[in-house]
Amino acid sequence: MNDISMFDIIGPNMIGPSSSHTAGALRIAHLAGKLAHGKIISVTFVLYGSFAWTYHGHGTDRALVGGILGFLPDDERIRDSFSLAEQAGINYEFIENKTEKDVHPNTVDIILTCENNRIIELRGESIGGGNAVIRRLNGVEIALTGAYPTLIVHHNDRKGVLAYITTVCSGIDLNIAYMKVYRKAKGDSAYAIIEVDSPINPSIIDVLICHDAIIDATIVPAI
């Protein structure tokens, strides 16, 4: 039996009417924004299931844009996220997918275009109580919750890469709580998702990308 906390019962401290449709949606977009490299120019949200049917009334649209802007679920600026995004020079659009049924009922695909012409595509699910999971990143199936400070290392699936990553983490006294590697196929593109017990020093990025098999690395603070 899983333990249930008070916050699982009363929900998160939040702006909006629904922990799943507002706070959870914002959490997905917040994580997406942290994965961007450089300024975000535009974002497309593809909504599935109940998200597609109720996003106007539940404020899912404003929450998603607010998450991209880096707001947390209790930030009162969520109400004005559309105008704030426009002021920040971020174009956004919502696409309703009401035909695809084989998805979690609270699912959104987010496609980010950054100023360096980098495009990031991910899929997130709002799983209740304001919690969310990123299930797919650039075509690779993953699991990212943002519950811990997380280091995401995009690399080529090669022998010795993980040993290098863990050695670098140990060198700056990072204690790894959880670590899992996701890959498209043997020898293909892969992501190491490393959740740790303390904030991550940004200097680790420069050390990691010195390895010729590491494409890039991103730090996602806990939210």
Q: pLDDT of 124-170, one tens digit each? A: 999 987 889 999 999 999 999 999 999 999 999 999 999 999 999 99
pLDDT at 210: 96
Integer-rounded Cα Rg, in Å, for the chain is 18
The CATH code belonging to domain 150-220 is 3.30.70.260
Quote the distance between the C-alpha of residue 14 and its chain's center: 18
User: To the nearest whole percent, how much of the chain has pLDDT over 90?
Assistant: 80
Which tokens is 141 given? 């199936």
Which tokens is 84 given? 């704030």
Give me the chain's average pLDDT, please: 90
Indicate the pTM of the whole model. Answer: 0.88
pLDDT at 57 over 90: no
CB atoms near residue 51 (< 10 Å):
30
6-138 CATH, one of 3.40.50.1700, 3.30.70.640, 3.30.1330.90, 3.10.450.50? 3.30.1330.90
pLDDT at 3 over 60: no
Domain boundaries, the chain: 6-138, 150-220
Which tokens is 28 given? 């997905």
